[in-house]
């Protein structure tokens, strides 16, 4: 998500400083991502939030290269810019609830609410940093890079609940980034890694884990060149089409969005 070495060092420091604790969670099940299709973008974006809606992807982008904003991405890869916020803010997680787009900002502490065409309707205040964002149909669910995620009121963004992320091992799990709630389970990638976790949002326990480093085998030479072109071009972006059961995963400034499914690893 973030675009500076300072942010990466701070994240690593948080991991090293995390106190050990015992968690009453089962060992996470291993998953693998089975690629079934691809969307090759007409232009890349610094992907921060991704969601499938009405036959296309909605994307929030971070302010790298002087532009933060909102895009849609059609199945043929055509990228349409709905909103260009310029360098004013650093766009983060995105979700759609009740026909409204919610977009977090990183450190500006603003939450923007738009109609589906990208027209601003209202703003709210977020007391924490903004990282990933999703919803359960009634509440917004967001992360801030700490070892917790939070529930917030969609009308005021008042935080109503904090859930600690837990695993079967001692220590804390920080860096939960782009989020998607699917069939009652919270999917999120860990910042600066190839890992996507599936979490029980009630207990906070990590139920399953997938190593998306396997996507390398499905990348073209052009894809690989783009991904390795900058340390900022990390995995980030999870969307889900409920009608087809297809997941879409990608990364910051990746040319390709990979379609597929998570299956049990053998």
pLDDT at 3: 59
Distance CA 84, CA 66 (A): 10
pLDDT at 66: 66
pLDDT at 2: 62
Per-residue model confidence as pLDDT tens for the chain (266 residues): 465 554 554 554 444 444 444 458 999 999 999 999 999 999 999 999 999 999 999 999 997 766 799 999 999 999 999 999 988 899 999 999 999 999 999 999 999 999 999 999 999 999 999 999 999 999 999 999 999 999 999 999 999 999 999 999 989 999 999 999 999 999 999 999 999 999 999 999 999 999 999 999 999 999 999 999 999 999 999 999 999 999 999 999 999 999 999 999 97
How many of the other CB atoms lie within 10 Å of CB of 119? 10
Which domains does the chain carry?
5-264 (2.120.10.30)
pTM above 0.95, yes or no: no
What angle is formed at CA 220 by the lines to CA 215 and CA 224, rounded to 5 degrees?
Answer: 70
Q: Which of 151, 145, 159 is nearest to 192 (CA)?
A: 145
pLDDT at 205: 97
pLDDT at 51: 98
pLDDT at 16: 46
Q: Alpha carbon 175 to chain centroid distance?
A: 11
């Amino acid at each position: 998500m973030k675009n500076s070495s300072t942010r990466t060092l701070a994240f690593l420091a948080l991991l090293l400083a995390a106190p050990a604790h015992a968690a009453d969670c089962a060992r996470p099940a291993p998953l693998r991502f089975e690629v079934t299709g691809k969307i090759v973008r007409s232009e890349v974006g610094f992907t921060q939030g991704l969601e499938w809606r009405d036959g296309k992807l909605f994307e929030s982008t971070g302010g790298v290269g002087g532009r933060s904003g909102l895009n849609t991405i059609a199945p043929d890869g055509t990228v349409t810019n709905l909103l260009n916020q310029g360098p004013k803010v650093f766009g983060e997680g995105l979700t759609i609830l009740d026909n409204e787009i919610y977009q977090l900002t990183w450190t500006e502490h603003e939450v923007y609410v738009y109609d589906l065409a990208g027209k601003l309707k209202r703003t709210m205040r977020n007391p924490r940093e903004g990282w990933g964002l999703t919803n359960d149909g009634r509440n917004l669910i967001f992360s801030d890079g700490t070892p917790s995620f939070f529930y917030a009121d969609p009308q005021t963004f008042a935080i109503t609940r904090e859930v600690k992320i837990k695993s079967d091992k001692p220590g804390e799990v920080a860096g939960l980034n782009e989020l998607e709630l699917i069939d009652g389970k919270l999917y999120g990638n860990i910042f600066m890694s190839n890992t996507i976790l599936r979490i029980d949002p009630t207990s906070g326990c990590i139920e399953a884990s997938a190593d998306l480093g396997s996507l390398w085998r499905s990348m073209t030479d052009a894809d690989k060149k783009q991904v390795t072109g900058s340390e900022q071009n990390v995995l980030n972006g999870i969307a889900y089409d409920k009608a087809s059961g297809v997941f879409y995963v990608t990364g910051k400034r990746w040319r390709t969005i990979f379609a597929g499914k998570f299956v049990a690893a053998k």
